[in-house]
Amino acid sequence: MHTQQHLQEVIAKAFGITANDITDELEYQSIPEWDSVSHLVLVTELETAYSITIEMEDVLTMGSITKIKELLQKYNVTTAG
Amino acid sequence: MSLYELIQKNRDLFFIDAQTGHAVGIRSFHQSLSIDDRQGLVFIYSDNGIGSVEVLLNFLNSRFTVVMLSAQLHPSFKQNLEELYSPYYIFDAARPAVYGYNTVTVSATIKLLKCKNPPDHQIHSNIKMLLSTSGTTGSPKFVKLSDNNLVQNAWSILDYMPIKNDDVVPLNVPVVFVYGLSIFTTNCMAAGTIVCTSKDLLQPAFWTDFSKYNCSTIGGVPYVYEALHRIGFFKKDHPSLRYMTQTGGILNQALRQEIVRYCNTYHKQFIAQYGQTEAAGRMAFLPQEHLLTKAASIGRPVKNGRFEIDPETSELIYYGPNVFGGYANSPADLNTWQESNKLYTGDVARQDDEGYYYITGRIKRIIKLFGTRLNLDEVELILKNGLGGQTVVCTGINDKLLQVSHVNEQLEESTIKQALKDKLNIHPTAVQVKYIPSMPLTPNGKVDYTSISTA
């Protein structure tokens, strides 16, 4: 079990913003920090943090924080708490 | 014939607005906006949408000089550039109002901002377009290009690019970059349909459109091909795709092999190119059959162009009708045009026995991060200002990392990374910060960049 806080931090690190700025509503390209460059950084960071390998097709579906959380469940990573 | 006339000559050309699915014929854009008939500057903050395209085409067919800028440029950079150059018109969908400007409705869908007190800049009649040498730093330094530069560049590309008149071309490279502009001009002259889109290839909507409109081609810098690889693009056939184009550096060996395998399996073409804003686009191209045999080569010069290597410095020099007419750093530089067919590329090169050229280094202090050209002197200045005048030195590491060296032990790494992110949107993971006890200097007192780079 991983904490919500931990996920926020992983994402924040990839985007170079603070964890407090990460909300479920945040979407790809909705802030300058979440562009194509940081999107691929995020993929790598998530893989490292949770020891998973994200399928190529899934890289495209990670269009919002909510969708990222749903995707992580598919990889059996739960982020409660 | 002017670039605009050549585009209008392609009478069956259509533009599709990816947002609405509407298709508009090229003739519908002819004088579709009520704009004044005079000389002056127009700032077009383009997002590659159909509105930007309509504005661009209308102003190409005018006496105005078009300044292409990214819609995503930092607002303070927009303001600085507008204060310096006082454009007569501004097209920026993101800003309904700008101080000193009136909003004018020039068509049912397009609004422009018009200067209340237009300056009387003298603009040399050759200058049709100003392009930024770097899309992101907001530098006031522009490359002056003539209509003939753009036309000549397009002709030399059409000589080798396999464009067909029923091709469907997505504008996935921003037209504010000279490479995106070349894709735009050549395909407007010779292809069938242009898909105007502000989506990028990491968004599912881009691929929905790609299939829906049966797109024929895709273009990008090496970083884009790395991203394509990551999303599994090369795992399956994309039936409508015929050819891919690339510029902005050399692909890594593994990726190059993957692309060659993909092209052989599914009968696609891949054309690597070499260019610069100062050449209004392309200077060389590498045909696909040499992608592996001439690995890391930029290829051979485009039609009507030729290369020379300076015997003393090994600098690559290009000659061609597409070479620009000088830089503009302020409005005062707009009344001159330095006619020349010679361009010092700033790249160090060698030529093999069969006439193919290879870039082996750079003379100018320029690096490419994620395919975007960064002038290190500009980055250094912006960073110094952002840090209240701290001494920092910026160097590049293999176009992968921006290295910032500084002499202040108290200066936090995160402060530097934050400043680069705020001012230039450079991703923190692409920055390496290094503290050095003292700044190495050359005998004449300048920063010794070579010893910093190799330290």
Q: A68: domain CATH number?
A: 1.10.1200.10
Asked if pLDDT for residue B398 goes beyond 90, the answer is no
Residue B296 DSSP code: T
Q: What is the mean pLDDT of residues B132-139?
A: 75
Question: Which residue among B72, B202, B425 sits closest to A39, beta carbon to beta carbon?
Answer: B202
Q: What is the mean pLDDT of residues B24-29?
A: 97
Domains (range + CATH), chain B: 3-359 (3.40.50.12780), 366-454 (3.30.300.30)
| Closest chain A CA to residue B420 | A16
In chain B, what percentage of residues exceed pLDDT 90? 72
Distances (CA, A) of B73 to B97, B157, B171: 16, 29, 19
How much of chain B is helix, strand and coil, in % rounded to 5? Answer: 30, 30, 40
Q: Does the residue A62 lie in any domain? A: yes
| Closest chain A CA to residue B234 | A56
Q: What is the mean pLDDT of residues B322-326?
A: 98
Assess contact for B146 and B340: CB atoms under 8 A.
Answer: no
Distances (CA, A) of B363 to A79, B367, B449: 50, 11, 12
Asked if pLDDT for residue B205 goes beyond 70, the answer is yes
Q: Which residues of B touch A (CB under 8 A)?
A: 72, 200-204, 207, 223, 226-227, 230-232, 235, 370, 417-418, 421, 425, 427-430
- Structure-model confidence comparison of residues B306 and A16, the more confident one: B306
Bridge partners (DSSP) listed for residue B307: B318
Asked if pLDDT for residue A1 goes beyond 70, the answer is no
For residue B361, give how far its alpha carbon lies from the nearest alpha carbon of chain A (Å): 25
Contacts of A63 in chain B (CB under 8 A): 203-204
Q: Among B47, B372, B427, pick the best mutation site for testing chain A contact (most A Cβ within 10 A).
A: B427
Bridge partners (DSSP) listed for residue B75: none
Q: Does the residue A59 lie in any domain? A: yes
Cβ-based neighbours of B223, under 8 Å, separated by 6 or more: A37, B248, B370, B371
- Structure-model confidence comparison of residues B76 and B370, the more confident one: B76
Model pLDDT, residue B455: 63
Q: Does the residue A81 lie in any domain? A: no
Q: Does the residue A47 lie in any domain? A: yes
The residue length of chain B stands at 455
Question: Amino acid identity, residue B321?
Answer: P
In chain B, what percentage of residues exceed pLDDT 70? 99
Assess contact for B115 and B86: CB atoms under 8 A.
Answer: yes
Q: Among A60, A61, A71, pick the best mutation site for testing chain B contact (most B Cβ within 10 A).
A: A60
Helices (H) and strands (E) in chain A, counts: 4, 0
Q: Does the residue A80 lie in any domain? A: no
A32 to B72: CB separation less than 8 angstroms, yes or no? yes
For residue A14, give how far its alpha carbon lies from the nearest alpha carbon of chain B (Å): 8
Q: Does the residue A17 lie in any domain? A: yes
User: How crowded is residue B389: how many other Cβ atoms within 10 Å of its Cβ?
Assistant: 8
B227 to A40: CB separation less than 8 angstroms, yes or no? yes
Q: What is the mean pLDDT of residues B120-127?
A: 93
Predicted confidence band of residue A81 (pLDDT cuts 50, 70, 90): low
Predicted confidence band of residue A77 (pLDDT cuts 50, 70, 90): confident
Q: What is the mean pLDDT of residues B104-113?
A: 96
Asked if pLDDT for residue B443 goes beyond 80, the answer is no
Q: Note which residues in 22-81 of chain A have CB less than 8 A from chain B.
A: 28-29, 32-33, 35-41, 43, 55-57, 59-61, 63
Q: Does the residue A31 lie in any domain? A: yes
Model pLDDT, residue B207: 94
Asked if pLDDT for residue B36 goes beyond 90, the answer is yes
Model pLDDT, residue A12: 92
Q: What is the largest CA-CA distance in chain A?
A: 31
Average pLDDT, chain B: 93
Assess contact for B133 and B155: CB atoms under 8 A.
Answer: no
Q: What is the mean pLDDT of residues B381-387?
A: 86
| Candidate from B4-8, B75-79, B162-166, B215-219 with smallest mean pLDDT | B75-79
Q: What is the mean pLDDT of residues A30-36?
A: 86
Containing domain of residue A39, as a range?
Answer: 4-74
Q: What is the mean pLDDT of residues B360-378?
A: 82
Residue among B178, B229, B219, B225 at smallest CA distance from B197: B219
Question: Amino acid identity, residue A57?
Answer: E
Model pLDDT, residue B57: 98
Which sign does the torsion angle of CA B172, B40, B35, B2 carry?
negative
A37 to B427: CB separation less than 8 angstroms, yes or no? yes
Structural domains in chain A (count): 1
User: Alpha helix (H) ranges present in B355-412?
Assistant: 376-386
- Positions of E strands within B223-334: 243-246, 269-276, 281-286, 297-301, 306-309, 315-319, 327-328
Question: Amino acid identity, residue B220?
Answer: G
Q: What is the mean pLDDT of residues B67-87?
A: 93
| Candidate from A4-18, B233-247, B359-373, B415-429 with smallest mean pLDDT | B359-373
In chain A, what percentage of residues exceed pLDDT 90? 48
Asked if pLDDT for residue B440 goes beyond 90, the answer is no
Model pLDDT, residue B375: 84
Asked if pLDDT for residue A71 goes beyond 80, the answer is yes
Predicted confidence band of residue A80 (pLDDT cuts 50, 70, 90): low
Model pLDDT, residue A39: 92
Residue among B176, B359, B205 at smallest CA distance from B277: B176
Model pLDDT, residue B46: 96
Model pLDDT, residue B453: 77
Residues B127, B281, B44, B211, Cα dihedral to 10°: 150
Residue among B262, B265, B212 at smallest CA distance from B240: B212
Q: Does the residue A28 lie in any domain? A: yes
Question: Which residue among B72, B232, B427 sits closest to A56, beta carbon to beta carbon?
Answer: B232
Secondary structure class of B180 (helix, strand, coil)? helix
Phi, psi angles (nearest 5°) of residue B338 = -95, 100
Secondary structure class of B91 (helix, strand, coil)? strand
B207 to A63: CB separation less than 8 angstroms, yes or no? no
Secondary structure class of B217 (helix, strand, coil)? strand
CA atoms within 13 A on the CB side of B70: 21
Cβ-based neighbours of B450, under 8 Å, separated by 6 or more: none
Phi, psi angles (nearest 5°) of residue B291 = -60, -35
Q: Are strands B14-17 and B193-196 parallel, antiparallel or unpaired?
A: parallel
Question: Which residue among B230, B425, B430 sits closest to A32, beta carbon to beta carbon?
Answer: B425
- Positions of E strands within B320-370: 327-328, 342-351, 357-362, 366-369
A33 to B230: CB separation less than 8 angstroms, yes or no? no
Asked if pLDDT for residue B83 goes beyond 70, the answer is yes
Q: What is the mean pLDDT of residues B413-435?
A: 89
A59 to B200: CB separation less than 8 angstroms, yes or no? no
A35 to B223: CB separation less than 8 angstroms, yes or no? no
